[in-house]
Amino acid sequence: MIRNFFSFIKLKPAFAVGFLYASTSLLFGIWVASLPGIKARLGFTDGGLGLSLLLSPLGAITGMLISSRIFSKIPVGKWMFAGYIILSGIMILQINSVNRVMFWTCLYCFGTISFLNSISINATVNLLEKKYDRLLMSTCHGMYSLGGAISAGIAALLFLLHIPSGWQIVMVAFFIIMVNFFNKEHLLANRDIIHSRSSFKLPSLTILGISFICMVSFMEEGCVADWSAIYFKEVLFAPKALISMGYAGFSFAMTIGRLNGDLLICKLGSKNVVIFGSLLAAFGFLVVVIAPMVTIAILGYILIGFGCCCIVPVLYKASANIPGLSTVEGFAMVATGGLIGWLTGPSVIGFISEKANLSKGLSLLILMGVVASYVAWRNPFLVNKGKQTKVSIPFNDQMY
């Protein structure tokens, strides 16, 4: 894993894009730890917070509607450079919102920019894979998980130093913006116009199946991000310094899994990785909801991380090679499902928590994981090692 990671760092154009993945989760780690404070400061109930979070999916739909126009005019590198600076600014305002209107506006804008950013970086990674003739997707997603683990640790440390989340996000956003300026040359070198075809095309049931699995995986990740800290504080009564440790354990497992993802996928096969990963994530949520103490719940979140770690890279790789679709079209169809899951999942959990309790809300994800495993088993676009038509080329320092 270490050799693979350092080899990835040496490829500067890929690392510049990989850092953008990490940027998202660096921001999210602070967002996770800030949610209990935002909920209390703005006077939200679980249901009210869940309803508010629905504004991000509305923003994502806006992003989907304008993505073709934007990416038909703006080179993907220019968007990546500007998009993550804009996202950092939105997150500063979102965490420091002084009233609900400001909070709701930020959530909507966050959904729009996040969708456009997701399309831009994943499409770029696919282009870089072809350019350098090697798999980069799993390692880039590993950068996302690494950023989340680091950010959760930063949040815990800064809380111990009595630095509030409002200042934490300013510090992290400033770091992200500075690194993006440092990587500006490599980002702007991606001059591709990645617009989709202008004609509208309904996805097949098989494509919808991949999108559904992606939705479940992102739903699980989103619920870990948005509800783990609240679950630790309000259900398990964890001390403030530990409320982000569920997300930290999840991110640590995701990082280890994704940085070893190329080897794991080649050894087990893409279909098996998605099937058994979905089941492992479901089992992890079972451990969380029955956990009598914080340490066991953290173990559950680690299991969820190991289950989810390679699912999305496999799905994105499959979506880029769907017959009859361009890379951007495939990404857009699958990523739409994923982003809907990420942003609506926490809202659904909030509604269930309002009517019952948070443990019952999280129990929904056990069922969703089992269903996703069955859908993966039945999907013909997911194949195991012996059936793959494209073989990933492992990292090799001699190729630089």
Give the residues of the chain that fall short of pLDDT 70: 1-4, 195-203, 326-328, 343, 385-400
Which residues lie below 8 Å from residue 291, measured CB to CB, with a gap of 6+?
236, 297, 299, 300
pLDDT at 223: 87
pLDDT at 398: 31
Distance of CA 88 to the CA centre of its chain: 16
User: What is the CATH architecture of 2-192+203-386?
Assistant: Up-down Bundle (1.20)
pLDDT at 193: 83
Rounded to whole angstroms, the Cα distance separating 238 from 388 reads 46
pLDDT at 251: 79
Rounded to whole angstroms, the Cα distance separating 353 from 43 reads 16
Of the chain, the percentage scoring pLDDT greater than 70 comes to 91
pLDDT at 182: 94
Q: What is the DSSP string of 341-364?
A: HHHHHHHHHHHHHHHS-HHHHHHH
At 30-55, the pLDDT tens digits run 887 888 889 999 999 888 887 887 88
pLDDT at 79: 95
pLDDT at 201: 60
pLDDT at 343: 67
Q: Where are the domains of the chain?
A: 2-192+203-386
